[in-house]
Amino acid sequence: MPIQIEHLTHTYMPGSPFSAVALRDISLTIEDGELIGLLGHTGSGKTTLVQHLNGLIKPTEGKVIVDGLDLTAKETSLLEVRRKVGLVFQYPEYQLFEETVAKDIAFGPKNLGLSDEEIDQRVRTAMEKVGLDYDEIADRSPFDLSGGQMRRVAIAGVLAMQPKVLVLDEPTAGLDPAGRRSILEMIRQLHAAGGLTVIMVSHSMDDISTLATRLIVMSKGELALTGTPREVFCQRELMASIGLGVPQAAELAYQLREAGFELPDDLYTCDEMYNAILKLAGKEAGVC
């Protein structure tokens, strides 16, 4: 179920003195099974864009079509769209409200009107997917958990809707390095299990460089660049002009090239960089 966005423009509070254009003429297609990294500076319109994907906000102009459903059409059922596209907000742990973890995760499926057995089954599956132990945690209050665990509960709450597209807005924000790594690993596994399109908003290049199959870069409400991580990260100047960096490995490669070392210009992961430097060191040693 591809997502098609056609000439999408969004203006906040149009016609008032406070009107502000958040998105300008965005067109793009997201295919099934992609893992998209959505990059951009603060205020570049990333969050506004992802909120269009399940109809939380409506385009001022243009169209958003998810799996053949036109979100701008009046007769489209928003519940149906929200079942298909799961959206995990920034700091999702702040939206937990139920007495127990299991009840909170069940909130989404309940709104879909499923049977109790089905809901229970979905809660168990969702908790397993995010790496939480059902027997240990299901009956505890979500407010007693650690920050990382709360975030997993919140993500499970969206996964329990069994969406075809999972959108995560800065899923690693505010976590410690260990929590960050484990959330990223969880996202990788969710995607690897198949059948799920993942769109991940981030401004950490290092988080996204190893995960994403394709990157979309936004700047000031417009689509600045799209392509594989390799294609995007070798455009260091363009990225810098948008106010974004490149992964640390790509930056190191750039600095070394500037200093006169012969390195290929499309390196961006740590492993590639490691190998390239070893090779270089071997060559230099040979010369000496």
Whichever of 162 and 219 has its CB closer to other proteins, that residue is 162
Q: Using alpha carbons only, how large is the chain's radius of gyration in Å?
A: 21
- Tokens 């920050």 sit on residue: 147
Residue type at position 33: G
Structure tokens at 105: 């995760």
User: With binding defined as CB under 8 A, does residue 171 bind other proteins?
Assistant: no
Q: What is the closest distance, in whole angstroms, from the C-beta atom of residue 69 to other proteins in the complex?
A: 16
Pick the piece of the chain touching other proteins (CB under 8 A) from 91-99, 190-198, 250-258, 279-287.
91-99
Structure tokens at 11: 């203006």
Q: What is the closest distance, in whole angstroms, from the C-beta atom of residue 102 to other proteins in the complex?
A: 15
Q: DSSP letters of 240-270?
A: HHHT----HHHHHHHHHHHTT----TT--SH
Q: What is the closest distance, in whole angstroms, from the C-beta atom of residue 155 to other proteins in the complex?
A: 12
Whether 217 contacts 40, CB under 8 Å: yes
User: With binding defined as CB under 8 A, does residue 56 bind other proteins?
Assistant: yes
Handedness of CA 122, 126, 128, 132 (dihedral sign): negative
> How long is the chain?
288
Among 89, 233, 254, 268, binds other proteins (CB under 8 A): 89
Give the Cα separation of 161 and 109 in Å (integer). 5
User: With binding defined as CB under 8 A, does residue 173 bind other proteins?
Assistant: no
User: With binding defined as CB under 8 A, does residue 274 bind other proteins?
Assistant: no
User: With binding defined as CB under 8 A, does residue 48 bind other proteins?
Assistant: no
Element (H, E) at 36: strand 35-40
Q: What is the closest distance, in whole angstroms, from the C-beta atom of residue 161 to other proteins in the complex?
A: 7
Looking at residues 92 to 111 of the shown chain, list those that interact with other proteins (rule: CB under 8 A): 92, 94-98, 107-108, 111
Among 157, 171, 221, 229, binds other proteins (CB under 8 A): 157
Give the Cα separation of 104 and 170 in Å (integer). 21
Q: What is the closest distance, in whole angstroms, from the C-beta atom of residue 41 to other proteins in the complex?
A: 20
Total number of residues binding other proteins (CB under 8 A)? 24
Binding footprint of other proteins on the chain (CB under 8 A): 13, 51, 54, 56, 79, 82-83, 86-87, 89, 92, 94-98, 107-108, 111-112, 143, 157-158, 161
